[in-house]
Amino acid sequence: MTGEFPHESQPWRPTCSVDMLKLRARMLSEVRRFFAHYGYTEVETPLLSHDVVVDAHLEPFTVNADDDAEPMYLQTSPEAGMKRLLAAGSGSIFQITRSFRLGEVGQRHNPEFTIVEWYGVGTTYRDQMELTEALVHWLLESLTSLRLPNSTAMSQRFKQTTYDQAFHTAIGESVLDASLGDLQRLVADQLDGLHNSPLSNDRDDLLNLLLAECVEPKLGVEQPEFLYDYPISQAALAEQNPHDARTACRFELYSNGIELCNGYQELVDPDELQRREAAQNTARQAHATAALPGAARMKAAMQSGLPKCSGVALGFDRLLMCLTGADSIADVIPFPFDRA
């Protein structure tokens, strides 16, 4: 993309071009048109909340209000608030908002970023894979005149690969039934001394390391690719797969090794939510991070009856990077963290 903004290095100036700002605005308008076409209602939920979804690998920004004894949290995604609306009877909804994740700074990360999140009542995670693909193709069709660098690859039918299939293709072995010792051997063999620290005794740590180093770089290279049916230990807030108890109804979308979105067939059992929050807090403490209080209001909403639904969280900035061939998230947003 071209434009007139980034021709000087002063920190007050934006890092993306004028053309990129215009493209962002046009794409956001098309996102709204897409969801209106499919009958989703646009909503807004608090950026600052007492609820915080517990994740072992995500750290929220904490805000201590002067008149409130309890800390509040900038949301890592709008999930908790949106599920409260679903339980109250909103029907299918979407939101374009900002999310915040402490410490996530890098070429593909900014602590404050734009997220598109939606929930389809009565849909499955396989339905949402189809809707995600339809959204990307809708955006490309609306922007045909711009001839975006990666439009040809992104306009193809998306590939679908199970988590276990992707590992087998990348390293020649399946991992769903692998023991801790098997995974430690695979890490030692595949990474060949690249990681000299003692091997973790946590299966998911080892799986995530293998995924990041061996599998992800090969995903979505020729065409966008869904990775689905994650291990049940990595279900987050997804339902267990009724066809394979080892896996969860969860997917992610990749393009050129970059993760673009995360989707679940949503957990509706509040007791299971409480169990998973406890497990995630245990994992956080094992990694020397503080436990989080969880999402009490979301749990109460689930107790009142969360409808069967599936949801997706899409990183808008990363999608824009993929469509335009940008090397850094700073190329698609005006003020990254170091200029905020």
**DSSP annotation string for 214-252:** IIGGGTTSSS-EEEE--BGGG-TTBPBPTT-TTBBSEEE
pLDDT in tens, the chain (340 residues): 556 666 667 889 999 999 999 999 999 999 999 999 999 999 999 999 999 999 988 999 999 877 767 899 999 999 999 999 999 999 999 999 999 999 999 999 999 999 999 999 999 999 999 999 999 999 999 988 888 888 888 999 999 999 999 999 999 999 999 999 999 999 988 887 665 567 888 899 999 999 999 999 999 999 999 999 999 999 999 999 999 999 999 999 999 999 999 999 999 999 999 999 999 999 999 888 999 999 999 999 999 999 999 999 999 999 999 999 999 999 999 999 999 9
pLDDT of residue 68: 65
Question: Chain centroid to CA 104: how far?
Answer: 13
Q: Determine the Cα–Cα distance for residues 193 and 187; give it in Å rounded to an integer.
A: 9
Say what the pTM is.
Answer: 0.94
pLDDT of residue 2: 54
The structure tokens listed for 266 are 């949503």
pLDDT of residue 8: 67
In the chain, what are the domain boundaries?
A: 18-158+223-339
Residue 37, judged by CB atoms within 10 A of its CB (0-12, 13-18, 19+), counts as exposed
Question: Chain centroid to CA 269: how far?
Answer: 22
CATH superfamily assigned to domain 18-158+223-339: Bira Bifunctional Protein; Domain 2 (3.30.930.10)
Q: Determine the Cα–Cα distance for residues 82 and 90; give it in Å rounded to an integer.
A: 9
